[in-house]
Chain A
Amino acid sequence: MITLQNVTKRYGTFEAIQSISLHIKPGEIHGIIGASGAGKSTLLRMMNLLEKPDEGDVIINNKKINHLKGKEIRHIRQSLGMIFQGHNLVGNKTVFGNVAVPLEIAKVEKKHRTERVMESLQFVGLETFKDKYPRQLSGGQKQRVAIARAIVNDPKVLLCDEPTSSLDSTTTMEILEVLKQINQKLNVTIVIVSHEMDVIRSLSERVTVMADGQIYDVVDIKPTGVHKIKKGAATFVEQLKSGGDSNHS
């Protein structure tokens, strides 16, 4: 599906990614975890060429894409959905308008757009919110709209860059459940980047652990399921009871 071959990314003299090779299998949920600055988001963004590698190749469906330019790159990106930590919705567009944008960009005929937008919104459970504006939605709802927008073009791969980092535990579970459904029902390969171990463990079948721009290890695991997610108050209590992370003076 997606293969990175000896990819390197430099910012000036700093090597953010150091000759990494990684293969994402079709249909899997692949987690990428690491501390801040480990290079996990840069690695993810290389998969749709939001970051171009300085060395090495990005291969999608046996085709090298890192030398493509302009229209060809845009075409590849249209086949890869992406969601971010922030929802990145257009505040002046309705939920329907936001989800319809990728179809407009892909020049899908107007008569087919409504049907596909509504299918996507139904999938994330927000079909009744189609006329609302992002400011009228909660954080979790906004992220679900972003997911609907990312899947409306029927992508084969969904790239998720810290999609739950700014959400509470309940909303995180909702979002992870939606991602799981996308993988299982729509057969979409998912690559998810997170610094939260619980998030990665809940969904991923394989996990790439990164440190200092390199792959530390790739581990096969059995997903624990989304019910195990602990965030916010639950995590704080756990940390307090175990005596860790308490900075009160």
Chain B
Amino acid sequence: MIPIIPDVLVEYQSEIWVSIGESSIMVGFSVLAALLVGLPIGTFLFLCRKGQLLENRIVFSSLNLIVNIIRSFPFLLLVIFMIPFTRFVMGTAIGTAAATLPMMVIAIAHYSRLVEQSLLDVPKGVIHAAVSMGASVKDIIFKFLYVEARSALVLSMTTSTISFISYSTIMGVVGGGGIGDFAIRYGYLQYRTDLMVYIIIIIVIFVQIIQYTGITLARKIDKR
């Protein structure tokens, strides 16, 4: 009889659960940062573009440059580059909490760009109509832009979350732990290739679930 859960996973199950918890913290806080900070920044980037409601070349160029620089960093170098800042903010540069900070920074930059791109797809006529109705910028954002771009925003968040999972796998460098770090330490370094393969399968399953959920939700809320 083939066991449903391989023995090696049973053997390491407590460590695996801890690793999944660490990954969840890193990815969860990144998603939260993306939503709470990346979404407003992306919206502001869009609104400051040429021809948009808050057109401002200097603000747009500056913000655009910052987002581009952060996104251009190879992630591992960003983590190392940020160590002094992380130590200043978190009191330490080691551990899951400290590893979460650079993840949040890249999450904000990543999602803000996708938000800006999603909002560009909203027909200009819809914004013109909103202005003609006497809508304020806040009204335009919440009653028009986010409503019309909602499925694109959900898909962007799906793509971002999957990228965050990928980023989280290298956070072992600063002692962040996580499921990727577990696969390297217990699977690769201890020559337990079978364990590494199982962990990769677990990550693939997670990614599939997130992708499926995102696509299903985006489809459900898209009425255009």
Contacts and interface: CB of A to CB of B under 8 A. Distances in A.
Q: Is the interface of B mostly helix, strand, loop or mixed?
A: helix
A228 interface: no
A133 B147 CA distance: 13
Given A75-B134, A78-B134, A104-B143, A92 B125 contact: no
Chain A interface size range: 20 to 34
Contacts of A227: none
A213 interface: no
A135 interface: yes
B133 interface: yes
Contact of B133 (A71, A102, A134, A135): A102
Contact of B224 (A76, A92, A94): A92
A50 B128 contact: yes
B135 interface: yes
Interface string B60-73: 00000000000000
A144 to B, nearest CB: 15
Most buried by B among A73, A88, A102: A88
B155 to A, nearest CB: 14
Contact of A105 (B139, B148, B223, B224): B139
A117 interface: no
A63 to B, nearest CB: 16
Contact of A106 (B132, B134, B148): B134
A91 interface: yes
Contact of A135 (B132, B143, B224): B224
Of the candidates A74, A94, A133, A135, the one having the most CB atoms from chain B within 10 angstroms of its own CB is A74
B76 interface: no
A82 interface: yes
A167 interface: no
B126 interface: yes
Interface in B132-157: 132-136, 139, 143-144, 147-148, 150-151
A40 to B, nearest CB: 16
B208 to A, nearest CB: 27
A74 B53 CA distance: 14
Contacts of A134: 224
Interface residues of B, number: 23
Interface string A55-74: 00000000000000001011
A223 interface: no
A218 interface: no
A99 to B, nearest CB: 11
A93 interface: yes
Interface in A21-60: 48, 50
A195 interface: no
Contacts of A123: none
Contacts of A101: 130, 133, 135, 143-144
B152 to A, nearest CB: 11
B131 interface: yes
Contacts of A86: 123, 125
Given A84-B129, A86-B123, A135-B224, 10 more contacts: A86-B125, A88-B123, A89-B129, A90-B143, A92-B222, A104-B143, A105-B134, A133-B224, A146-B129, A153-B133
Interface of A: 48, 50, 71, 73-78, 80, 82, 84, 86, 88-94, 101-102, 104-106, 133-135, 146, 149, 153, 159
16 contacts: A74-B134, A82-B132, A89-B126, A90-B143, A90-B144, A91-B148, A92-B147, A92-B151, A101-B130, A101-B135, A102-B134, A105-B134, A105-B135, A105-B139, A133-B224, A135-B224
